[in-house]
Amino acid sequence: MKNKNLFSCAGKVVVVTGGAGLIGAQIVKGFVSSGATVYIADNNKDKAKKLLNLPKVKFVYLNILSESSIIEAFEVVRESDKRIDVLVNSAYPRTSDWGNKFEDIPFASWKTNLDGQLGGYFLCCREAAKYMKRQGGGSIINIGSTYGVVAPDFSIYAGTKMTMPAAYSAIKGGLINFSRYLASYYGKDKIRVNVVSPGGIFDNQPESFVEKYSKKTILGRMGKPSEMAGAVVFLASEAASYVTGHNLMVDGGWTAC
């Protein structure tokens, strides 16, 4: 390969949906460190303000629930930087009743959440791939989850108000196989499509939950948001030029045993 630094993304234009969020912000920082131009595609510019001080970081408004907003956002990026090399789907829209127990989930809520996340990712992938195909290739990385691969352990939520929403498993499981579909469909166009599936990420959850979760991982702890960035940058870089249709587990060993 011509690039001596296989993990460099210098010269690449990257779009991160949900780039102002918990994991998305760390992914943005990871791409900055690898030399890319990064667009925070989000509906909250205030949350993105600190990141906009970083070199080659830009903001584009994107409402993942709106088809017109998604189309417009990708047009803005393409017109501004003339290409889109990488898309990372990290947006995480959800309804206010997201944490309801299964018996209490309204069907309308179920449909809204599946359409909002899976539908939004579908639209973003479609728009990004349209431009990537024209320019001769690209990389799409969707953020999945361990719970898109294995069933949740509800015992770790005991004694807390937390639970694992039913729609989450359906969304992430569907997203993983949808990504395989896209990898197969766009392989001829040199567009690679992969998934990074995080394990539990520490976000000031109740102590009892953190302890129970940590005991189930090989590394004995929850993940840090920053620990997802390396996996994403790897899949976007030339170091992963022969990797497509893959679901990379970044879960501290949760799914290994």
CA of residue 188 relative to chain centroid, distance: 24
Adjacent-strand bridge partners of 222: none
Burial class, 104, CB count within 10 angstroms (exposed 0-12 / middle 13-18 / buried 19+): exposed
- DSSP H helical segments within the chain, as ranges? 22-33, 45-48, 67-81, 107-114, 120-135, 166-186, 207-215, 229-236
- C-alpha distances in Å from residue 100, one per residue of 104, 110, 209: 6, 11, 18
Q: Could you list the active site residues?
A: 168
How far is residue 97's CA from residue 24's CA, in Å, rounded to a whole number? 23
How far is residue 57's CA from residue 110's CA, in Å, rounded to a whole number? 35
How far is residue 140's CA from residue 44's CA, in Å, rounded to a whole number? 23
